[in-house]
Amino acid sequence: NAGVMQNPRHLVRRRGQEARLRCSPMKGHSHVYWYRQLPEEGLKFMVYLQKENIIDESGMPKERFSAEFPKEGPSILRIQQVVRGDSAAYFCASSPPNRVHYNEQFFGPGTRLTVL
Amino acid sequence: AQTVTQSQPEMSVQEAETVTLSCTYDTSESDYYLFWYKQPPSRQMILVIRQEAYKQQNATENRFSVNFQKAAKSFSLKISDSQLGDAAMYFCGYNFNKFYFGSGTKLNVKP
């Protein structure tokens, strides 16, 4: 059973470009979470999604950031018009559908975004 | 406010010695679990140990154990017989709907 997969592992963008980060959850997992880790800091929650639904986006910046988890395919975190402050490691985690608030989350290897 | 505090930004321990990393948290929830993750330079998040909040017995995983004081909202990690491979960032936190992480403690292990 493959773990959580994220791609790309490293992404370089110039200011003003768009960044798309992908996350494929573990098989059987229907919940996806995105976290951001700025340099020298811990992980901060961004958004929690189920298939075709955003459940909690309280950690998402109000502008330029969006996330989706379609019925088919991976979850996508999209950052439009990137700025240098978006440079960070972005982690995806997934969990199974039962006992939602108590479930262990399994982390992917992260995508390191560098904005030039 | 839901917060997690790790008051030790960096610690050092001699190989084979014991070290304790501190963590306090603040939540009004009753059913959650606490965790410690290790993050080596590869940045992969590796679960070290977890503790359900309703359990009074402290969790143990080989050389890793916790001291969970629920009333004090304290959840420290003890690493016994430290090894060079234990050197990493360590993050504590708790899980209720989503993970709440502390800012991390960098552990150095001296040979």
Per-residue pLDDT of chain B (111 residues; tens, 9 = 90+): 668 999 999 999 999 999 999 999 998 887 888 999 999 988 899 999 999 888 888 999 999 999 999 899 999 999 999 999 999 999 999 988 788 999 999 999 999
- C-alpha torsion sign, points A106, A111, A112, A115: negative
User: In this predicted structure, what is the pLDDT of residue B54?
Assistant: 86
SS3 B89: strand
Could you say which residues from 28 to 87 on chain B have a Cβ atom under 8 Å away from some Cβ of chain A?
31-33, 42-45, 47, 50
Instruction: Return the structure tokens found at A49.
Output: 């999604």
Answer whether residue A18 shows pLDDT above 90.
yes
* Closest Cβ–Cβ partner in A41, A102, A109 for B33: A102
pLDDT band at A101 (very low <50, low <70, confident <90, very high): low
User: In this predicted structure, what is the pLDDT of residue B1?
Assistant: 60
Give the mean pLDDT of A60-64.
94
Query: Is A43 within 8 Å of B43 when comparing Cβ atoms?
Result: no
- Local structure of residue B59 (DSSP, 8 states): P
Answer whether residue A1 shows pLDDT above 60.
no
B104 → chain A, closest CA residue = A42
Contact B45, B39 (CB under 8 A): yes
Q: Give the other-Cβ count within 10 Å of A23's Cβ.
A: 25
Q: Which residues pair with A31 in a beta bridge?
A: A50, A95
* Type of residue numbered B53: A
Give the mean pLDDT of A65-89.
96
Give the mean pLDDT of A52-80.
95
Query: Is A107 within 8 Å of B93 when comparing Cβ atoms?
Result: no
User: In this predicted structure, what is the pLDDT of residue B29?
Assistant: 82
Instruction: Return the structure tokens found at B60.
Output: 């143990």
* Type of residue numbered A92: C
Query: What share of chain A in percent tops pLDDT 90?
Result: 76
User: In this predicted structure, what is the pLDDT of residue A102?
Assistant: 60
